[in-house]
Structure 1
Amino acid sequence: MHELNIPISVNGKIITTLRAVQDDLPIALKRLTTYILEHTEAVIVQNVTELAKSASVGEATVVRLAKLLKFQGFKEFQLEMAKEIAGNSQNEDEQILDSNISDGDDCQIIARKIKVAMTKSISENIRAVDEKSFYTVAEAVFKARRVCIFGVGNSCLSALFLKNKLNRIGLDAQCEEMSHFMYTSMSMLSPSDVVIALSQKGNSYETLKAFEIGKSTGALAVAITNNPVGKLAQMADVVLFNGNEEGALQGDSAATIAAQIHVCEIIYALVVSLNRTRAVKTKQLTLKALRMDPQEE
């Protein structure tokens, strides 16, 4: 039997979680999930029998999905779904626009669609914030001998962003961009270190291999991902969720990068708060270095 472990609470983000896990579900659960995502308003008024019939699945599949999402049963799932829909009232832009760019969209429409996608992604971050997990990561980063951050593709851009932010406040943060160097760097970590991997789907081969090597050294393994049931999340000691508002052909979209950077910025702000005096002092040193004129004596 196909089993899923969803390591984060889904209250307030059922739709986000279903979208993230949809591709990893077996056929019947995937069919049910697709129906729920496409008919959210209908789902909150249907009973188990009606929903099962509408989605062409058995009633047991409906109950199973609710339990996979950590609810006692369908009624609890339905109630939370209704609350989520009511709480996600859309503004005018969201009512008239979809985040997918279509042929024929003019520049103004494209600009507004991108704005909606980025806003939604960050809103998903806020709804998914797990304070305990963020503080655990921030404290570990603050105390770490070394922090190794990595990602492949556009996730590497977000990793570089966090590495630079931490360097500027005096922390030994590294970000290798080539897989060969990722693996060797990970092998030299220790229990005094932290490894942070960014991956939207959480299934990139290079990311998983580097993460596994880093975790094997005893370093705290932190995953920043949109997929709570991806392999990366399953391997991690701590999972930080980042939002996602991508169309089918918009992998590595600006909205995804914005959501990842938003999570990185939260980590950075919490680390700074642990010793603001030191952070300010080291930030001033780096600013001074950037302003130095090499021609000056």
Structure 2
Amino acid sequence: MASSYYTNTLHVSFESVLAMDNPCMVSMFIALAASGLQGFLDCPAVIYEAALIDFFENALVRDDVVISTVAGKLVEISEELLAETFELPVEGFTDLSKIPKDLVFDARSIVSLTSEPVSMSGKKKEMKIEFRLLCDIMAKTISVKAGSFDAITQEKFLMIAGITCGVQVNWNKILFNILKDMVTDETRQARGFAIQISLLLENIPNLELAEFSSSKILTEKTVHRYIILNEKVGGEDVTDAPRVKRTPVKRVVSKKRPAAVDTEAAPIVKNKRTTKR
């Protein structure tokens, strides 16, 4: 089903979130925009559901170009086309593991909810709220990996570290490699980039597209809701939270039938007959 391609997509309305009255959250979005990902995350939030099904069912990689057919029309997505369409950076680290270790350590302290550096294999509840949201954006819209969204993985954290510390990253190369993994069955990569692929399909001549608008847009209102929900959780584990008392359920007791007599357990007493002589 096409819905699996965009269920977790988070589209960012930078115009709205940068106007928030929350300096910490605004600072995070400023760093995200400065990283060069704004064009990729803030493109028109329109999804073409039927076209996405065709695209992923027929897509393959040939000569380092993603090729597919949609409604019988040839679709080609190259690394250059991705960079041009979304104004992505084409210089910087192409391997996030090459980010200097001192910057990674600084990022672990910057995003931490406490004074202790967060673990790169821990849970996102260890982070401040604005970085939990950034972790969600990386997990659901950028890396598009299957698995738990609450877990911090090395890949997600290195992305967060690159953005938070202002590291120059070749996001175009990284995103294009993720796209190639999406259409390669052996990699078992989840399929995403629904909004971005839909925008690329608009440039195919004579291709009829049925429009479907995405509803998961990060605006000032939805970010406030995210903050409220996270504050209620308080960064605590479910096992640490007080248990909710359950209201006793009244059971309807049916009238019991008389118990059957066990003929084997209770011997039958026979009356003695008397005969007259």
- Short-chain TM bin: under 0.3
The structure having more radius of gyration, on CA atoms, is: 2
With CA pairs under 8 Å and 6+ residues apart, which has the higher RCO, 1 or 2? 2
TM (norm. structure 1) is 0.22
Q: Give the TM-score normalised by structure 2.
A: 0.23
More helix by share: 1
